[in-house]
Amino acid sequence: MLRRLAGKTSDAMLRSFLGSFDFRGERIDTPSELFSGGERARLTLALIVWQRPNVLVLDEPTNHLDLQMRQALTIALQGFEGAVVLVSHDRELIANVCDELFLVHDGQIEEFDGDISDYGKWLAEKRKQENSSDKSTSKKKSKKESKKFVSRETDNGQVSNKAPDNSSKSKATTPTLSKDAQRKLAAEQRKLTAPIRREIEEIEKALAKIDGQLVTLEEKLADTDLYEEGRKSDLLLLLNEQTALQQQHSDNEEKLLLLMTTLEEMEAGFE
């Protein structure tokens, strides 16, 4: 396929170009009909990039790729000279490829001032605000708010409903810890963050499992016999399964992003 597009370009240059998309050795001469879904996606991208378009638009390009293929895609996009518009939940891909981030929220789009870690913090803060807004509509919330104010008697005998002012209190100087105390503190910090680390590990395992299932589905969908008239029901079943897995993948990646942001905030609080 690439030879038809490349014309008189040397084999050495073509092999070098395909190598940047992780096609090497005998795989270069293998018919594309024998490729997996992920390999076909990379080949399609390679054919597009070879033609040097001004803009490349990618929607969740790593959904069906394993780790090695994701790394190959990242390297290829880093070397792409045109503009890339990337829609993705892949945190690592965004961090390594994107120069600018845009936030799509509440029917609007605007440039996001920060990196992917800042987005995780923004998302966590947004969730807190939404939860707080929901609680503020209840009477129980308003009663709890009123309890934050204490009644205390002033010098002239009048009652003042003000929150106590602790701003005049001096801050205690943090003592220097011994090595033994530092080890104990580090152990306590690890204990406090252990639950969230376990949850992150579980979600990463779930994502790896979903990735494997998506790769298997892609291989099934690559079967040309599946698209015959008499197999429409089989095709529809596989497509529905693929859609469900992609949604699970997206949901888990969002949970992972929030958990990693929470962990970063906890660790920063220990410093």
pLDDT at 252: 87
Is the Cβ–Cβ distance between 118 and 131 less than 8 Å?
no
Output the DSSP codes for 168-189: TSPPPPPPPPPHHHHHHHHHHH
Q: Is residue 174 part of a domain?
A: no
Q: Is residue 78 part of a domain?
A: yes
Q: Are residues 6 and 95 in the same domain?
A: yes
Question: How far apart are the C-alpha atoms of 61 and 41, rounded to whole Å?
Answer: 8
Scored b (16 or more CB within 10 A) or e, 192-230 reads ebeeeeeebeebeebbeebbeebbebbeebbeeeeeeee
pLDDT for res 151: 46
> What integer pLDDT is reported at residue 170 of this predicted model?
47
Contact 21, 42 (CB under 8 A): yes
Q: What is the residue range of 222's domain?
A: 179-270
Alpha carbons 261 and 255: distance in angstroms, whole number: 10
Q: Is residue 193 part of a domain?
A: yes
Q: Is residue 201 part of a domain?
A: yes
Alpha-carbon span 63 to 194, nearest angstrom: 29
Indicate the number of domains in the chain: 2
Is the residue at 194 inside a domain? yes
In order along its 271 residues, the chain shows pLDDT tens digits of 677 777 777 878 888 888 877 788 878 878 777 777 667 777 887 888 788 888 888 888 877 676 777 777 888 788 888 888 998 878 888 888 888 898 888 888 899 888 877 887 787 787 777 767 766 665 555 555 555 544 444 455 454 455 455 544 444 455 576 777 777 777 888 788 888 888 888 988 898 888 888 888 878 877 777 777 788 888 888 888 888 888 888 888 888 888 888 887 777 776 6
Looking at residue 71, which CATH number applies to its domain? Answer: 3.40.50.300
Question: Is the residue at 218 inside a domain?
Answer: yes
Q: pTM of the prediction?
A: 0.46
Quote the pLDDT of residue 140.
57
- Final residue in a domain of this structure, among 99, 131, 157: 99
164 is a domain residue: no
How does strand 83-87 pair with strand 55-59? parallel
Of 84, 99, 114, the last residue of a domain is: 99
Which pLDDT score, from 0 to 100, does residue 192 have?
A: 83
Q: Which of 99, 134, 156 is the last residue of a domain?
A: 99
Q: Is 118 among the domain residues?
A: no
